[in-house]
Amino acid sequence: MHDELVDHLTRSSSLTRGEAVRVIQDVLAYFDETTEDYVRRRHRELQAQGLVNAEIFTKISADLQYRAVAPPELSLRQLRRIVYG
């Protein structure tokens, strides 16, 4: 595991060592998600919130630039193809 990061989190927060490890694992898993998996997951989440596709794909497109390793810019058509094939 990332011992230096765990040590830093336990020193700089009220997290226990076990909690810090769990937080790190959760963050790494979040950023390990492929672009395609992220697009599909966010589409489902935003659809469940009642947004329509035009709003969903615009939001996803904007959000992708803030990923840890931003993918190449995807058109709204490319995003739709990821979700619907």
pTM, to two decimals:
0.63
Same domain, 27 and 64: no
What distance in Å separates the CA atoms of residue 26 and residue 43, rounded to the nearest whole number? 21
Same domain, 4 and 42: no
C-alpha torsion 84→47→69→23, nearest 10: -130
Q: How does pLDDT run across 12-71, given as a tens digit for each residue?
A: 999 999 999 999 999 888 888 888 999 999 999 999 999 999 999 999 999 988 877 667
Same domain, 74 and 38: yes
Name the nearest CA neighbour of 1 among 13, 18, 16. 18
Q: Residue 80 burial (CB < 10 Å; 0-12/13-18/19+)?
A: middle
Domain housing 46: 34-84
Q: Look at the chain and report how many structural domains it folds into.
A: 2
Same domain, 3 and 14: yes
Same domain, 5 and 28: yes
